């Protein structure tokens, strides 16, 4: 008879006995429980952006969702936010280097739980989610940066048509995109 099955059985028994002996480690005092609860909830609720009144507005999020998947926002009409931030891949694309209108310099970051961040973009170039969205719309390698065409397209959007053309309309579109992205929250895991 081989010795290894007996050794494995002995090891499993020892591990089980050790786990039973350490079960008291899971008995927390009321003070310890309060300290644990103080670290929650998880994920933490996003902090409202003071520069964005519509951050939690469902109508703004619905508009942002439409814009997120809208190919006509790109200069070529072939790229949307969802071209690089794929919903089925945790809102990133799995590529080593992003490919929008042109080739990016880095990979596409996930948008899950993005509302909990303080700085946006790989270099922290934006201090709000809507500013990061605006940068992507204007960037020649991401959405194409054709501002005149973008203004015309946004002017046809019923929710934005009344907003004056120019920076105000672009900001309104970026804020709608941010409202949608704020709702992209990862599922709970066994580690949460």
79: nearest Cα among 105, 60, 95, 98: 98
Is 192 within a domain? no
| Structural domain boundaries, residue 95 | 58-182
> Domain tally for the chain?
2
122 and 176 belong to one structural domain: yes
Is 50 within a domain? no
User: Which CATH number characterizes residue 155's domain?
Assistant: 1.10.760.10
pLDDT at 126: 92
Is 52 within a domain? no
147 and 71 belong to one structural domain: yes
pLDDT at 27: 84
pLDDT at 147: 87
176 and 104 belong to one structural domain: yes
Is 129 within a domain? yes
* Residue 117, phi then psi, degrees to nearest 5: -85, 160
Is 47 within a domain? no
Is 95 within a domain? yes
| Spatial separation of the C-alpha atoms in residues 4 and 58, rounded to whole Å | 62
pLDDT at 66: 96
Is 27 within a domain? yes
192 residues of the chain, pLDDT tens digit each: 567 766 767 676 767 655 555 556 678 899 988 888 888 776 666 677 888 888 888 999 999 999 999 999 999 999 999 999 999 999 999 999 999 989 989 999 999 999 888 889 888 889 999 999 999 999 999 998 888 889 899 999 999 888 888 899 999 999 999 999 999 998 877 765
14 and 86 belong to one structural domain: no
122 and 168 belong to one structural domain: yes
pLDDT at 96: 93
Distances (CA, A) of 28 to 36, 39, 40, 191, 192: 10, 15, 16, 18, 18
Structure tokens at 6: 């007996």
Is 45 within a domain? no
Structure tokens at 26: 């899971």
99 and 154 belong to one structural domain: yes
């Amino acid at each position: 008879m081989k010795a290894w099955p007996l050794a494995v059985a002995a090891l499993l028994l020892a591990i089980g006995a050790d786990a039973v002996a350490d079960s008291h480690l899971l008995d927390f005092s009321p003070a310890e429980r309060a300290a644990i609860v103080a670290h929650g909830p998880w994920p933490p609720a996003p902090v409202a952006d003071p520069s964005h009144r519509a951050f939690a507005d469902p109508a703004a999020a619905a508009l942002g969702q439409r814009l997120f998947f809208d190919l006509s926002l790109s200069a070529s009409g072939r790229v949307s936010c969802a071209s690089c931030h794929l919903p089925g891949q945790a809102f990133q694309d799995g590529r080593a280097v992003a490919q929008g209108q042109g080739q990016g310099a880095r990979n596409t970051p996930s948008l899950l739980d993005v509302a909990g961040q303080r700085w946006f973009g790989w270099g922290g170039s934006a201090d709000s989610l809507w500013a990061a969205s605006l940068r992507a719309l204007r960037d020649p390698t991401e959405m194409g940066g054709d501002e005149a065409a973008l203004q015309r397209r946004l002017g046809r959007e019923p929710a934005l048509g009344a907003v004056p053309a120019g920076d105000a309309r672009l900001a309104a579109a970026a804020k709608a995109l941010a409202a949608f992205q704020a709702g992209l929250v990862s599922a709970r895991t066994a580690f949460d």
